[in-house]
Amino acid sequence: MAETTLHPDAIRDLVEGRHGDPFAALGPHATPAGQVVRTLLPGARSVEVVTRGGARPLEKIHPAGLFEGPLAEQPYLLRIDWNGVVQETEDPYAFPPLLGEMDIYLLAEGTHQDIGRCLGAHPVTLEGVRGVRFALWAPNARRASVVGDFNGWDGRRHPMRRRIEAGIWEIFIPRVMPGAIYKFELLDPNGSMLPLKADPVAWQAEPAPATGSVVADTANIRPPKPLVPQGDPARQPMAVYEVHAGSWMHGDGNAPLSWEELGDKLIPYVKGMGFTHVEFLPIMVHPFGGSWGYQPLGQFAPQADFGPPEHFSRLVERFHEAGIGVILDWVPAHFPTDAHGLARFDGTALYEHADPREGFHHDWNTYIYNLGRREVRNFLLGSAIHWLEHYGVDALRVDAVASMLYRDYSRPHDQWVPNIHGGRENLESISFLQELSRIIEQRCPGKLLIAEESTAFPGVTRKADEGGLGFDFKWNMGWMHDTLHYMEDDPVFRQYHHGSMTFGLVYAFSERFMLPLSHDEVVHGKGSLIGKMPGDDWQKFANLRAYLSFMWTHPGKKLLFMGGEIAQRREWSHDRSLDWHLLDEPRHAGLQRLVRDLNRLYAEMPALHVLDTDAAGFRWVVLDDAQNSVFAFLRQAPEGGVPALVVVNMTPVTRSGYRLGVPSAGGWREVFNSDAAIYGGANHGNGGMVHAAAEPSHGLDASLALELPALSTLVLVPAGS
């Protein structure tokens, strides 16, 4: 072998793939004998260095494929003979450090708000050369390499430069193009090889079950046109259609629809049904479809099964063009243990807590993010901003907030670690959520944060600067569970559980609430919404019509999981489409029409939405008629607007001449009746109009006598309004 000034230990470490500072050995270097270039190309037969002055062969200084030779001038190319196949390319080790000093400083500080543009894989042009810049946070790795289909998955080919001050590894690989598949090969602190790791900040990934990252054409993923703002969201109608992208509808060959096909079918459906927003169960990259996306590994990439990232971006824009907002479920609480993911990423507990009492969820068999570590917070904050800015989504629904807020969440008394004050509150998570809300308010004004939070933790929707968590809305899980349990009761016994329907109003204005009938209520043996209703088939449909109508007229924004609007009979499965054929049956089609009309009524009547979060917008009329299971209340509009009287009869008995108070005498129009024949009901009611006499009742100046159809909800407004 030819002589070299490279130390034998350095040669050994290079060819064994253990060199922690490859730029100190590879590429152009000054030596006592002059400028030389070194390159490690295992499997190459020969290498020439090509400059404007011509080509000159390099000498093989180690049989593993380490070459060295004089370098007369720069720039230069490497001409590589791969046993008869010749490749010409620039030398990755000829390029200077890539990330700027400010990027490195902010990454080290944990305050870089655009790490999606900084870390990961990005096609760039450096010194006139096209290629991909790779950057990775792995501070405890002894060596990090990019491996992929462009280098034979050989970690010796492209070991990265370490920016030690931030724990970042980086390299520019010339002539790699978008579409290339790659991972990272890491040595842990002890020098042992880890399983190949997917890029935590990849913008694109292979379709499952493959686990590679894909170089995305990030320049083509442009933020879509924003949704035109409508004002204070608390005073606007908000009816959300919750969707699992893979099972809403299947296409040819019973395959899930692509992003483009979803745009063709889902957007007109959501628009036609009158929903204001669509909410997707997590569409971030997840290895197991049965998690429905709630165990994500790719916090910056859409699931590849439905098409490339730019198609998802276009889907968001198409929703916006239709006037529909897009909400994404987002999971910063935990992540799965898959070896190719974040788990012990650099051989240490990097993203997760080291102590399993803090870092492992036994309920879900997942790791818990260490939100006390600034770089981990930065990673998740960067993910949130990425979806809101680069993909232009309008809101994030943060999953499993309750599990984040309490250190003893679902843990035995001796299996959790108290906070620094000895309490059970997770101070790091609270601080993270407050920081998240502040950053979104500053950088993404008009974007919303919605909490899935199932406890009575105070101030979830209070601003962070006022001591709250800073969410815009909170799912009202208590209302959902109480009212569903009531509806599951046989009507004979509902009189004994009357408070389950009224208790929600005790605290309805303590937070800004959203009323959810979510996917969680139609899985794991819970059946379907229609399946929860008691009685024969007629009563089941009547119950569900009355219940949905009660929900739409109750204070709070609305959310309904797909299939609920067509009375899907089977429990939801992520593996199959909704049963759209049910709409051939009149009762199913009638329920769908009822939801469509409820959305229209809700949007058109200010009394049903403007004061959703204000106690001034609600007044009980009949609260305590448990014996008849009747409820009546007024929804009131601001500035003396038109009120709406809502009357609910939750027994299968028609009640005639039921008298209750109203604010004014005169005619009252029946503008909605869940028992109407067009919805599949018996068409009992009040003929569209009823007269209120100046006879005080229930603390109001006038009263009227109503026909209350069995299992029904009525809405009336003053005539002339």
Q: Which residues of 49-75 are buried (b: 16+ CB within 10 A; e: fewer)?
A: beeeeeebebbbbbebbbbbbebeeee
Do 184 and 313 lie in one domain? The reply is no
In a domain? residue 442: yes
- Could you give the CA distance from residue 163 to residue 208 in angstroms, rounded to a whole number? 33
Q: Residue 278 is which amino acid?
A: V
Whether residue 484 lies inside any domain: the answer is yes
Respond yes or no: is residue 242 known to be catalytic. no
Q: Tell me whether strands 702-708 and 630-635 are parallel, antiparallel or unpaired.
A: unpaired
Is the pLDDT score of 1 beyond 60? no
Give the chain's end-to-end CA distance (angstroms, integer).
96
Residues 105 and 85 in one domain: no
Distance CA 99, CA 300 (A): 20
Closest to 487 measured CA to CA, from 525, 542, 537: 542
| CB-based contact 291:240 (threshold 8 Å) | no
- Decide if 354 is inside a domain: no
Q: How many structural domains comprise the chain?
A: 4
- Written as six digits, the tokens of 40 are 């490690």
- Same structural domain for residues 208 and 310? no
Residue 659's CATH number: 2.60.40.1180
Environment class of 503 (CB within 10 Å of its CB; exposed 0-12, middle 13-18, buried 19+): middle
Q: Looking at the predicted structure, is the pLDDT value of residue 219 above 90?
A: no
- For residues 68 and 121, state if they share a domain: no
343-361 per-position pLDDT tens digit: 999 999 999 999 999 999 9
CA angle 411, 516, 318 (to 5 degrees): 115
Q: Which of 220, 243, 277 is the last residue of a domain?
A: 220
Residues 6+ apart with CB under 8 A from 33: 5, 70
582: domain CATH number is 3.20.20.80
Rounded Cα distance between 316 and 699, Å, is 49
pLDDT digits (tens, 9 = 90+) for 164-205: 999 999 999 999 999 999 999 999 999 999 999 999 999 999
Residues 490 and 452 in one domain: yes
Q: What is the DSSP string of 361-395?
A: ETTTTEEEB-TTSHHHHHHHHHHHHIIIIIS--SE
- CATH (domain of 27): 2.60.40.10
Residue 361, in any domain of the structure? no
Residue span of the structural domain in which 81 resides: 8-91
In a domain, 96, yes or no: no
**Model confidence at 675: pLDDT above 70:** yes
pTM (two decimals): 0.96
- Give residue 33's pLDDT: 85
- Is the residue at 206 inside a domain? yes
Backbone angles phi, psi at 341, to 5 degrees: -100, -145
Question: Domain check: are 133 and 52 in the same one?
Answer: no
CB 544 within 8 A of CB 517: no
Give the tens place of pLDDT for each residue, 109-143: 999 989 999 999 999 999 999 999 999 999 999 99
Q: Catalytic: 452?
A: yes
For the chain, the farthest-separated pair of C-alpha atoms sits apart, in whole angstroms, at 110
What is the Cα–Cα distance from 342 to 375, expressed in whole angstroms? 13
103, 317, 452, 597: the catalytic one is 452
How does pLDDT run across 443-490, given as a tens digit for each residue? 999 999 999 999 999 999 999 999 999 999 999 999 999 999 999 999
User: Does one domain contain both 455 and 571?
Assistant: yes
Shared domain check, 205 and 57: no
Rg (CA), the chain: 31
- Establish if 3 belongs to a structural domain: no
Beta carbons of 696 and 688 less than 8 angstroms apart: no
Residues 423 and 291 grouped into a single domain = yes
Are the C-beta atoms of 36 and 26 separated by less than 8 Å? Answer: no
Catalytic residue among 90, 91, 329, 399: 399
Strand-strand pairing, 325-330 and 277-280: parallel
Nearest CA among 131, 124, 157, 129 for reference residue 143: 157
Is the CB of residue 189 less than 8 Å from the CB of residue 347? yes
> What are 381-437's pLDDT values in tens digits?
999 999 999 999 999 999 999 999 999 999 998 899 999 999 999 999 999 999 999
Beta-carbon count within 10 A of 339 CB: 11
Instruction: Tell me whether residue 190 is in a domain.
Output: yes
What average pLDDT does the structure give for the chain?
A: 96
Distance CA 178, CA 618 (A): 56
146 and 271 share one domain: no
- Of 553, 573, 606, the last residue of a domain is 606
Whether residue 168 sits in one domain with residue 284: no
